[in-house]
Structure 1
Amino acid sequence: MHPQLLAAMLRRGGVFTTADAVAVGHTRHSIAALVRSGAWHGVRFGVYTTDHVRRRHTDAGSPHWLAAAAVLARLGRPSTVLSHATAGRLHDLVLPRDADTRVTLTDPERFRLGRGYRVLAARLPTGDVRTRDPLRLTSVRRTLLDLGREWDVVDTVTALDDALADGRITLQDLVDGVLEQTHWVGVGSSAGAVGLARVGAHSPLETRTRLDLVAAGLPEPVLQAAVLQHDRLLAVLDMWWEGTPAFGECDGRVKWTDPWRGRSAADVAWEEKRRHDALVDLGLVGVRFAQPDLGRGLAPKVDRLRSLLTQPLVLPPGVRIEQWRGGVRREPRARPWTADPGSSSSAAA
Structure 2
Amino acid sequence: MIAETASVHPALRHAASGRMGVFSVAEARSAGYGPDEIRALRSSGRWVRLRQGVYTTAEDLAVTERDGVRHAVECLAVLTSLARPTAVVSHASAARVWGWPVPRREPGTVRLTDPHQWRRTTDYRMACAPVPPEHRAHRGPVPLSSPARTLVDCGREWPLEDAVIAMDAGLLAGRTTSAELRDALALARHWPGAPRAVRAVALADGRAESPLETRGRLRIVGAGLPVFQPQVEIWSDGRLLAVVDGWYDDAAIALEFDGKLKYTDPWGGRTPGQVLWAEKRREDALRSLDVRVVRIADEDVDRGWGALDRRLRGMLGVAGPVDRRFTVVPRAIGRPRAG
State the TM-score, normalizing by the size of structure 2.
Answer: 0.93
Distance apart, 1:317 and its partner CA: 5.6
Q: What is the distance in 1 between the residues matched to 2:135 and 2:31?
A: 36
Distance 2:97 2:322 in 1: 46
Contact 1:141–1:174 (CA<8 Å) still a contact in 2?
A: yes
- In terms of mean alpha carbon deviation, does 64-73 or 225-234 score higher? 225-234
Asked if 2 retains the 8 angstrom alpha-carbon contact of 1:227 and 1:320, the reply is: yes
How many angstroms does 1:100 deviate by? Answer: 2.5
Residue of structure 2 in register with 1:27 after alignment: 34
The question of whether the paired residues in 1 share the 8 Å contact of 2:94 and 2:144 is answered with: yes
Q: Does the residue aligned with 1:321 lie in a helix, a strand or coil?
A: strand
Compute the displacement of 1:300 (Å): 1.8
Show the counterpart of 2:5: none
Change (3 A) 1:119 1:301: same
Partner of 2:335: 329
RMSD: 1.7
| Partner SS for 1:243 | coil
Instruction: Quote the residue 1:140 is aligned against.
Output: 147
Q: How many residues align?
A: 332
Q: C-alpha separation between the residues in 2 aligned to 1:223 and 1:168? A: 20
Q: Say which structure, 1 or 2, has more relative contact order (CA 8 Å, 6+ apart).
A: 1
Correspondent of 2:183 among 171, 176, 189 = 176
**1:51 alignment partner in structure 2:** 58
Structure-2 residue corresponding to 1:266: 273
**1:166/1:332 contact within 8 Å kept:** no
2:336 aligned with 1:300: no
**How many Å apart are 1:38 and its aligned residue?**
2.2
1:91 Cα offset (Å): 0.6
Counterpart-to-counterpart distance in 1, 2:142 and 2:96? 13
| Post-superposition CA distance 1:177-199 (Å, at most 9, x none) | 21222111111000001111112
C-alpha distance in 2, partners of 1:56/1:106? 28
Paired with 2:157 and 2:338, the residues of 1 have a C-alpha distance of: 26
Percent identity at matched positions? 39
Amino acid at match of 1:39: R
Residue in 1 that maps onto 2:129: 122
Please list every run of 5 or more consecutive structure 1 residues that lacks an aligned counterpart in the other structure: 334-349
> Which residue, 190, 213, 238 being the options, matches 2:220?
213
Pairs within 5 Å for 1:179-258: 179-258=186-265
Preserved CA contact (<8 Å) 1:13 1:135: no
Is contact 2:93–2:111 with CA below 8 Å preserved after alignment? yes
Secondary structure of 1:235's match?
A: strand
With over 3 angstroms needed to count, the CA separation of the structure-2 counterparts of 1:227 and 1:315, relative to structure 1, is farther
Quick check: 200-209 or 239-248, which moved more?
Answer: 239-248
Rounded to whole Å, the distance in 2 between the matches of 1:152 and 1:103 is: 19
Question: Alignment partner of 1:149: what SS?
Answer: helix
Tell whether 2:326 aligns with 1:314: no
Partner of 1:104: 111
TM-superposed CA distance for 1:120, in Å, is 0.6
Structure 1 stretches of 4+ moved >4 Å: 315-318, 330-333
Rounded to whole Å, the distance in 2 between the matches of 1:130 and 1:183 is 23
Contact 1:83/1:104, CA 8 A, preserved across alignment = yes
Name the CA distance, whole Å, in 2 between partners of 1:332 and 1:267: 17
Cα 1:315–1:32, aligned 2, differ >3 Å: closer, same or farther? farther
* Corresponding residue of 1:93: 100
Q: Distance in 2 between matches of 1:11 and 1:215?
A: 47
Deviation sequence 1:151-178 (CA, Å, 0-9, x none): 0011000111111122222222212221
Structure 2 contact 289–325 (Cα < 8 Å) conserved:
no
- Structure 2 unmatched ranges of 5 or more: 1-7
Which residue identity lines up with residue 204 of structure 2 in the other structure?
A
